[in-house]
Amino acid sequence: MKFEEIYQNYWQKVFRLAMGYVNDRDLAEDLTQDVFVIVYQKLSTFNQQSSIGTWIFRIASNTCLRSVEKKQKHQTTALNHDLPTTESHFEDNDQIKFLYQCISTLDEIDRLIISLELEEVPQSEIAEIVGISNGNVRTKIHRIKEKLNKKMSRYEYSRS
């Protein structure tokens, strides 16, 4: 696969993964660029033992983990438990922002797992990317989704 093709197909996917991890647009764009710099430099070493998607998401997940070095202590936006109550607080994309905000407050590995799940990466591949068992991935996804659904429902309730 050519780099140009990878770049077109995976940029937004990698960006969303980074965004879910750091919840900071500038940092996420910076991290996405870093991922593609590594992909460009290492593409010739890709040995096709896994799919190209798994390979790229592994690099992306590992780059996210190292974002802490970029911003020694990156500050994820703290989740506001006192949900806004008046309609005037909301914009059209507030729901999206809130989802990413919720994800960025999860544990680091959980952030990566749920981001990959929402990106529709098969669970067996998520297990391969993160390095944990299929069963463990299934359990974690179930638990994280439950948590997210609860927060999103409370959020929607507060809007209505």
Partner 1 sequence: MSTLDLKNLWQQQSSSQPNIEVVLEKAKAYRKKATQNIIIQNIVGVGTAIYLLFIAFYYDPELLLAKIGIGCGILSLIIYTVAVNKLYRLINEIGFDTDTMAYLDKLKEIKQKQRKIQTTTTSLYFLLFSLGLGLYMYEYLMALQPSYSIPFVIVTVAWVAVNWFYFRPKAIKKQTAKIDELIQYFSDIKS
User: Taking the CB of residue 125, how many other CB atoms lie within 10 A of it?
Assistant: 17
The structure tokens 């391969």 sit at 128
Tell me whether residue 83 or residue 118 sits nearer to partner 1 (CB atom).
118
Q: How far apart are the first and last CA of the chain?
A: 48
Q: How far apart are CA 6 and CA 13, in angstroms?
A: 11
Residues that bind partner 1 (CB under 8 A): 3-4, 7, 11-12, 15-16, 19-20, 25, 28-29, 32-33, 36-38, 40-42, 46, 55, 58-59, 61-63, 65-66, 68-69, 72-73, 93, 95-96, 99-100, 107-109, 112, 115, 118-120, 128-132, 145, 148-149, 152-153, 156
| Of 1 and 96, CB closest to partner 1 | 96
Q: In angstroms, what is the minimal distance from the CB of 148 to partner 1?
A: 6
Burial class (CB in 10 A: 0-12, 13-18, 19+), 147: middle
* DSSP code string of 119-140: TT--HHHHHHHHTS-HHHHHHH
In the complex, what is the shortest distance from the CB of residue 82 to partner 1, in angstroms, rounded to a whole number? Answer: 20
Taking the least distance from each CB to partner 1, the nearer of 40 and 89 is 40
